[in-house]
């Protein structure tokens, strides 16, 4: 039995890791969508996390857990710089400010010879295994469910439903939105670090427009009623092209098509249900 399991893990290793990493990315997108904002910087945050942990382990020999902390902190700082001025404005500003982030980062890494330039970074130690990835996913999921059931979760849902009303009720709008963006950047950064430390190679072209739209399609397909929705979306959209081989070439077309259809015809996603509240009246 153990042997069969080991065999299975070995055969489908990269798919299983991708399922975990993509679920984390979907959760990072969820955190921002949960306060009614759209961040298109998730792929860039992932890239910053991947590059900072890869550089620290490869060039400075920092142990993986230490690098992971920086991989969470660096994109959070970037998110703060972008988010602090934009989140006081209307919702479209964050999307506009973050959509160019991936491209600017690509130019930056492409011209940064120390980080490998166009060739990217090779020989990153493969230290992020099954336990790390799915442990982090379990922690993130549990934490977000706990938040959903708390006062903070209710405030977030109020912002999503009606920002002006939530503000009048005393919810500190900019603080909540900024906190959500910073947390989401940290999750994306950790996911990026895991990705770098299972594939042993990263390049400057992996964190662009296609990547962020794909992450968004995870969250929207699953639905943002609860944190389980985005994870389901990530699992479906990561496994589907593997199961149905012919779909593989049209992956981007399908991701785009799914976003269009879900937003227009299925705004709640596949899992529209919300999580019950503590102390909610029956």
Partner 1 sequence: MLAQQLLNGLFSGAVYALFALGFTLMFGVLGVINLTYGFYFSTGAFVALYATQYLHMPIFVALPFAAVVTGLIAIVIDDLLLGPLRRAKAPELSSLMVTLGATLLLYSLMTAWFTTDIRRFPPAVFNGGAFEIEGLRITLSQILIVVTVAIIVGGLAFLLQRTKLGLAIRALAENGDTAQLMGVNAGGIVRLVSFISGALGGAAGVLIGLNYNAIQPYMGEMMMLKGFAVIILGGLGDIRGAVLAGLILGILETLTAGYFASSMKDAVGFLLLVLTLWLRPVGLFGRVVAKRA
Which tokens belong to 169? 């009720």
d(CA 150, CA 278): 7
Least distance to partner 1 from the beta carbon of 190, Å? Answer: 24
Shortest Å distance, C-beta 244 to partner 1: 17
In the complex, the residues that contact partner 1 under the rule CB under 8 A are: 36-38, 40, 81-82, 84-86, 88-93, 95-97, 99-101, 103-104, 107-108, 110-111, 162, 164-165, 209-210, 213, 216-217, 220, 250, 252-253, 255-260, 263-264, 267
Name the residue nearer to partner 1 (CB basis): 244 or 260.
260
Least separation in angstroms between residue 78's CB and partner 1 is: 11
Q: Helix, strand, or coil here: 121? A: strand
Provide the token pair at 150. Answer: 């708390």
CB closer to partner 1 out of 16 and 219: 219
Task: Judge contact between 124 and 58, C-beta under 8 A.
Answer: yes
Q: How far is the CB of 251 from partner 1 (least distance, A)?
A: 9
For 227, other C-beta atoms within 10 Å of its C-beta total 25
Nearest to 109 by CA among 185, 44, 163, 162: 44
Residues facing residue 202 across a β-bridge: 121
252: Cα within 13 Å, side-chain hemisphere: 7
Report CA torsion sign: 135, 184, 145, 150: positive
Q: How many CA atoms, within 13 angstroms, populate the side-chain half-sphere of residue 116?
A: 19
CB of 72 to partner 1, least distance (A): 22
Nearer to partner 1, 9 or 175 (CB): 175
Nearer to partner 1 (CB atom), residue 185 or residue 258? 258
User: Cβ 133 to partner 1, closest distance in Å?
Assistant: 26
Nearer of residues 17 and 109 to partner 1, judged by Cβ: 109
Q: Residue 53 or residue 255: which is nearer to partner 1 going by CB? A: 255
Residue among 113, 120, 114 at smallest CA distance from 204 = 120
- 267 three-state secondary structure: coil
């Amino acid at each position: 039995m153990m042997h069969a399991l080991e065999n299975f893990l070995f055969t489908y290793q990269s798919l299983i890791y991708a399922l975990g990493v993509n679920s984390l990315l979907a959760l990072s997108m969820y955190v921002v969508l949960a306060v009614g904002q759209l961040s298109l910087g998730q792929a860039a945050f992932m890239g910053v996390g991947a590059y900072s942990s890869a550089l620290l382990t490869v060039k400075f020999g920092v142990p993986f857990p230490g690098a992971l902390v920086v991989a969470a902190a660096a994109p959070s700082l970037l998110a703060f710089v972008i988010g602090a001025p934009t989140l006081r404005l209307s919702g479209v500003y964050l999307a506009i400010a973050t959509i160019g982030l991936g491209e600017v980062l690509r130019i930056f890494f492409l011209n940064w010879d120390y980080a490998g330039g166009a060739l990217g970074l090779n020989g990153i130690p493969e230290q992020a295994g099954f336990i790390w990835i799915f442990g982090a996913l379990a922690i993130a999921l549990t934490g977000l469910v706990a938040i959903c059931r708390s006062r903070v979760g209710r405030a977030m849902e109020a912002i999503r439903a009606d920002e002006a009303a939530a503000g009048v009720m005393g919810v500190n709008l900019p603080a909540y939105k900024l906190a959500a963006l910073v947390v989401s950047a940290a999750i994306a950064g950790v996911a990026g670090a895991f990705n770098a430390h299972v594939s042993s190679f990263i390049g400057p072209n992996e964190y662009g427009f296609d990547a962020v739209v794909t992450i968004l399609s995870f969250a929207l397909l699953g639905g943002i009623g609860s944190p389980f929705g985005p994870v389901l979306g990530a699992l479906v959209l990561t496994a589907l092209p593997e199961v149905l081989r012919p779909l593989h070439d049209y992956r981007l077309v399908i991701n785009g098509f799914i976003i269009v259809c879900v937003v227009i015809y299925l705004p709640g996603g596949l899992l529209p249900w919300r999580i019950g509240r503590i102390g909610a009246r029956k």
